[in-house]
Amino acid sequence: MSILKIRYLTVMLALFCASPALCQQADYVRHFDYDKSASLDLKTIGTETRGDVTVYDVTYASPKGGVVPAYIVVPKGKRKFAGVVWGHWYWGNSPMRNRKEFLDEAIAIAPAGVVSILPDGPIARPGFVEDKTPLNVKQTTDMVKAVIDMRRAFDVLLARADVDPKRLAYVGHSYHAMVGAFLSGVDRRAKAYVLMAGPLSDEVNMKSKEFQDYRQKIGPEKLDAFMNEYKWLDEGKYVSHAAPAFVFMQFATQEKFLTPERANLYDAYVTKPKLLLFYDAPHALNAEARRDRVKFLMEQLKLSRLDPAVIAKVPDLYQPPDPN
């Protein structure tokens, strides 16, 4: 590299780092880097036909080790389709706490011109062992892995010749709403995000009575040190850089922690364009939320018209009693 180029890069770096906020954000984002040139190692385990839609049971390689089980839902036809990555909830005793949660919804909207990928998050995969120790590092590595595996899911979609790179979206529920918040500030490929009933800012959560009670239980100094060490793992620091992506937030009114009051505090961290709506429902949300979600995706991704009766047939997500 020539001396002139080196001097140019040095000057640009100095100008960039003249803004501490920008330098800090760049430092945060690096935690979610991965080797984009590595093989996807995409393998098809099986296929199933649902009308004019084909569901592929696949795996792809995780940059953090192991494989990611996923469904890829593909409509009939040969044209450029939009692409959606779906992230499920982790409701403990639900049989849908995995890639199955959004499968019916992805199949329903496929004919409108959507190829979907629905990965199993790290916690839902075979062999996962939970560490219940307070303030354990595994919970942080699991989150980083979840975000990177979802970035890789976008890679899988974009490796397909039939997916339009300018029409990508992400839908995430609960834990994977948090994953989506991270993605929105790390990965610039999706033009729209639907974040459903998930916490969107540690700064907001830390002011809650629940957190303060937990802080006293664990020990203030111990918890404060942990939070400071992992301050880069605050989803609010990422969703506050989501623009120009459009963020649609969906929250329920029948929640003990994710109340409308707290959701409104999260909203202050999210960049415009954005939309925040509430539903008279538990954490699972309801059919109205699904209709609004599909309408949003159709508008943002410029999808073909879809008969509302098709969406109405999608089963509601059942929420078993809280096992905790």
Q: Residue 254: pLDDT above 90?
A: yes
pLDDT per residue as tens digits for the range 285-320: 999 999 999 999 999 999 999 999 999 999 999 999
- Determine the pLDDT at residue 21: 57
- Determine the pLDDT at residue 231: 96
- Determine the pLDDT at residue 218: 94
The mean pLDDT of 70-96, rounded to a whole number, is: 97
Residue 149: which of 238, 86, 235 has the closest Cα? 86
pTM of the model: 0.93
pLDDT tier for residue 44 given thresholds of 50, 70 and 90? very high
State how far the Cα of 81 lies from the Cα of 297, in Å rounded to an integer. Answer: 13
State how far the Cα of 154 lies from the Cα of 103, in Å rounded to an integer. Answer: 17
Q: Residue 16: pLDDT above 80?
A: no
- Determine the pLDDT at residue 20: 54
State how far the Cα of 74 lies from the Cα of 52, in Å rounded to an integer. Answer: 9
State how far the Cα of 117 lies from the Cα of 120, in Å rounded to an integer. Answer: 10
State how far the Cα of 173 lies from the Cα of 179, in Å rounded to an integer. Answer: 9
Report the SS3 class of residue 24.
helix
Which position has the token pair 């939970």?
A: 130
pLDDT per residue as tens digits for the range 135-184: 999 999 999 999 999 999 999 999 999 999 999 999 999 999 999 999 99
State how far the Cα of 319 lies from the Cα of 140, in Å rounded to an integer. Answer: 26
Beta bridge partners of 68: 60
The mean pLDDT of 194-222, rounded to a whole number, is: 97
Domain extents in the chain: 1-32, 37-312
Which position has the token pair 């307070």?
A: 134
Q: Residue 1: pLDDT above 50?
A: no
CATH architecture of 37-312: 3-Layer(aba) Sandwich (3.40)
168: how many CB neighbours lie within 10 A of its CB? 22
- Determine the pLDDT at residue 26: 77
pLDDT tier for residue 7 given thresholds of 50, 70 and 90? very low
State how far the Cα of 154 lies from the Cα of 68, in Å rounded to an integer. Answer: 13
State how far the Cα of 113 lies from the Cα of 75, in Å rounded to an integer. Answer: 7
pLDDT tier for residue 322 given thresholds of 50, 70 and 90? confident
